[in-house]
Chains A and B, each alone.
Chain A
């Protein structure tokens, strides 16, 4: 099924394709960035090592702060992208630690990168201070520190905004909202301190109180005037986003229905004269659609992986036998538990029993499979409504039932019973104990 939601980065990433170089656009890199990701983005764009670009920026920075201005301009103008950096190499070394691969965020690598970013910020600040203090700016010299503080605060808040956008793509709603808040507040405080510093330096400390009051009054006024519009705008925005998500979901359903259901219907029309095949197709489609509609999100949409619980294993075996033999199999599972070695053997025996039931008893209607986990005991019964058979009458060289079902269960410390159901048909009952859990 191709209905897995497209990974969010797919629409943003500029992944250079070795065969067909696409139109390259400049993005800031969100991966492994130190500040705004400008250097990394540029490096990816120009095909240069990141360190070169960084060195150039630092050199420019020494030249009377040109680098800082340039960097800020890039940060402001260039949109944040994902990947960007020599993606071919990135994918080749995807397993390497330190490189933030998608889906592995928040691990040790993520922490380290965060520390590196803080370090970069501090270094930048200190370096800037040193450089600035070397220039002889006369009276203006005193303003360097407040301005640096303001700059650092602005940088912090901007990065916060970047992260928020990134989180949105990644749909990382579950992350705790405290850290971003703290960072935002820290940025605001830094800017506030810087501004206050400038006011103090101007010697108008006496007016500080009234200035702050006036500023506050203006802010409140603006908030009162613009507030309703802002609220309205955010509401509209979130509503629009909701609509978009709905539309996307609808499109996904449509795609699924188109892919599988229409395809199956076509097959059914073509095989109309073969009732067995029609039934098989219809059952398979029904099962798939049910799984798709009712299974919880994020699970069961791609059924290919090996089952790791009993219920899944029973359903999977039943589905396969059903597909293969075209006999409907009704599965009822009560309780569930993880699969272990013994239960694995039991599942194989159950599968064998289902195959037998489908082969020899399928004419009498659906095969019924019942599995129950009760405490440590796992019970599986497979019954059909076919003609039934006598185990003693089966020739000794036919090992199917004796070995695959009874023998296998006994070897694994379980029991298997075969008997006729009261009104014809056969019942196979398999019972096994779960292995004691370790520890």
Chain B
């Protein structure tokens, strides 16, 4: 471990540092994440604050203005959605936008769709590995979206079940390519692998995913949430 860190240090370590706030009501979990990704000179992630409930979270986020917030979905005081609602102004700030990455043990469809519609830029489950999490944090801080396979599955399912929409709702529909990308994510491919498979660049994959996210947030399809809530999918 130590020698690894030393080696990393010698090679210069990560090019930049991302400032992160952890929001989770379980102290054990925050400690774990901190230990996993918080070795700044190694991972490039600096944990600048922690919060255990909605009020604390808003205070800490306002005070520290991190680049990325790792947000638990189930929180005392209204849940992650409430934090997103009260941080809307900071998210929209063009100068130093705060971006949210939902990190939850729950992968029930209504939780997932809920925070994504609240404005989170991605959703990963707590079974994620440390490396993948660091990767996701960097990607989100760049303004890209991060989907877990299961989330991609939910989105595909939601859009598929309300297929054949009227023409004027074209905005909400996923293009063939976006669908393809989502399908590969759902099958467990990493962005890099998808790029290779589809002969496109990683940047293009990311822009497809971002487009999906945008459609998901802007979509006025009530069916989507209704569908998700009705099924209580796991």
Where the two chains meet, the residues of A that have a C-beta atom closer than 8 Å to any C-beta of B are 290-291, 294-296, 328, 330, 332-335, 365-366, 368, 370, 372, 374, 381, 383, 421-423, 427
Contacts and interface: CB of A to CB of B under 8 A. Distances in A.
Interface string B203-234: 00000000000000000000000000000111
Nearest to A368: B188
A370 B188 contact: yes
Contact of B188 (A330, A334, A374): A330
Given A294-B108, A296-B232, A334-B160, A422 B193 contact: yes
4 smallest CB-CB distances across A and B, nearest first, come from: A368-B188, A332-B153, A370-B187, A422-B196
Interface in B74-91: none
Query: Could you say which of B149, B183, B187, B189 has the most chain A C-beta atoms within 10 Å of its C-beta?
Result: B187
Contacts of A427: 187
B190 interface: yes
Contacts of A366: 188
Given A294-B232, A330-B150, A423-B193, A335 B187 contact: no
A423 B195 CA distance: 12
B157 interface: yes
Interface string B20-56: 0000000000000000000000000000000000000
Contacts of A328: 127
Interface in B114-161: 127, 129, 149-150, 152-153, 156-157, 160-161
A335 B161 contact: yes
Contact of B189 (A296, A330, A421): A421
Contact of B153 (A290, A370, A374, A381): A370
Contact of A335 (B160, B196, B232): B160
Contacts of A374: 160
Contacts of B161: 335
B130 to A, nearest CB: 13
Size band of the interface chain B makes with A? 20 to 34
A381 B197 CA distance: 15
A332 B150 contact: yes
7 contacts: A332-B153, A332-B186, A334-B156, A370-B149, A370-B186, A383-B189, A427-B187
B16 interface: no
A291 B156 contact: no
B192 interface: yes
Contacts of B196: 422-423
B192 A423 contact: yes
Contacts of B189: 383, 421-422
B234 A295 contact: yes
A373 to B, nearest CB: 9
Nearest to B193: A422
Contacts of B149: 330, 332, 368, 370
B234 A381 contact: no
B232 A334 contact: no
A74 B187 CA distance: 69
A194 B222 CA distance: 58
A374 B182 CA distance: 14
A95 to B, nearest CB: 36
Query: Could you say which of A294, A365, A381 has the most chain B C-beta atoms within 10 Å of its C-beta?
Result: A294
Contact of A421 (B108, B157, B193, B234): B193
B193 A295 contact: no
Contacts of B156: 334, 372
Nearest to B233: A294
A293 B172 CA distance: 32
Contacts of B157: 333-335
Contacts of A335: 157, 160-161
Contact of A372 (B129, B150, B183, B193): B183
A427 B183 CA distance: 14
A328 B188 CA distance: 13
A372 B234 CA distance: 16
A8 to B, nearest CB: 26
A291 B150 contact: no
Contacts of B188: 330, 366, 368, 370, 383
Interface in B172-204: 183, 186-190, 192-193, 196-197
B232 A290 contact: no
